[in-house]
Amino acid sequence: MKKSLEPIWLLLCFFILISGCGKKGEVKLSDAEVLHQNQDLLTQIIIYDVFTPPVATRIYVYSSLASYEAVRFDEKGSSSIAEKLHGFGKMPQPEKDKKYNYTLAATKAFFTVVRNIKVFSIDSLKAHEDSVYTNFKENLDDSTYQRSLAFGDTVAKAILKRAMVDGYLQSRGKPKHLGSNAPGKWRPTPPDYLDGVEWCWNTMKPMVLDSASQFMPPRPPEFSKDTNSVFYKQVKEVYTVGKSLTEEQKTIARYWDDNPFVIEHSGHLMFGTKKITPGGHWMGIAAIAARQTKSSPVKIAKSYTMTAIALYDGFIACWDEKYRSNVVRPVTVINEWIDKDFYPFLQTPPFPEYTSGHSAITASASAVLAHIYGDNFSFLDTSDLKYIGMQRHFNSFQEAAAEASISRIYGGIHYRSGVEAGAEQGKKVAELIIQRLKDTF
């Protein structure tokens, strides 16, 4: 069942309304809100087009970088982030003593990257772009307008140059990962028995990591049917917890599911439900923090970019381990050893268990956001409200990340070793990002 694009068209109506009311020299929509609305539309398109979580973060990181590299000139002294990352050359500079609207340039850079990185909902994207550009055109002199668009386009091309050689195109031609019947190794899980998603994501060029295996976690518990073994005890924990979930635990599991495409089964009927990706959830939290602090456009763009880098490199590190250790999912073992009728509260994602992707990327993103906005940043997370009708309050980014991590045990899809190792892996990724990019925070 396809998600309605009604929110996108409501957004377009809003832009048309404000652009029609503006007078020359007035921009009714703040520069900050332009950047937020751009990012929000991208999340809606990613949901609608159903990208895998790792691929979604790739779209977020390149588009956010393009936006930041264009808008950063709005604040004197804001240095390039891209130039400090792997594989980017010198970023374009605006002409001296020329007038620009850097929010317009950032918008152009952002959507040029999005379009060329191959999202599919081009019509919705173009309609939004046109409405934004019309608003700026009615409030800027023609030379400033054209100059700003040209600068944004130049920035986008510099960002895309790196995107074209990051390993993504080569990864699309890889054979499928169908799992293994060897004891303890991952194989496709019920109910749909899908092949492994993005099994060669560790071949992607990282942004900050020196290699995908830089933060290789400890080896997972040894596979064993011995009831006294660590592995068996962890299997039994998932089963025991899953059979006696409290309503609060169910809420937490459901809240952090973030499965972009859940296949629902009802008798002989089967239909898909689209939802936000894990990365999209944390990009939404970055937006909440920026709005709550009334951040400047440059800080907004920087927050999105740093969060996206944390998510992107977090996925590369995590996926490197997933397909190295290739650990079997709880549902497979429980069905064979303990209870053939057991079905986890959440649908098991189609890739190996160790380490937990949610644990890794939420630990990484939360640490970066805490570095920007503080360790005790209290917020109401409404990033998923319009998609699943739920919101939750957290006293810090780390508290949110910890809840996201434990939710995977409640959901019956991860062992404790997977969530703990994933969280530690994500923290190390974030520490490296903060250290390497300290001059740009």
Which stretch of 34-48, 120-134, 152-166 has the lowest confidence by average pLDDT? 120-134
Domains of the chain (ranges, CATH numbers): 6-169 (1.10.606.20), 177-436 (1.10.606.20)
Contact 119, 59 (CB under 8 A): yes
pTM of the model: 0.92
The count of other CB atoms within 10 Å of the CB of residue 284 is 22
Question: What mean pLDDT, rounded, does the chain reach?
Answer: 91
* CB contact at 8 A, 359 and 419: yes
Q: What is the pLDDT of residue 119?
A: 76
pLDDT at 264: 60
Confirm if 380 and 399 have CB atoms less than 8 A apart: no
In this predicted model, what pLDDT tens digit does every residue of 312-370 receive, in sequence order?
A: 999 999 999 999 999 999 999 999 999 999 999 999 999 999 999 999 999 999 999 99
Average pLDDT, integer, range 45-71: 95
Residues 205-262: pLDDT tens digits? 999 999 999 999 999 999 999 999 999 999 999 999 999 999 999 999 999 999 876 5
Structure tokens at 261: 């495409």
Query: Residue 310 and residue 267: Cα distance in Å, rounded?
Result: 41
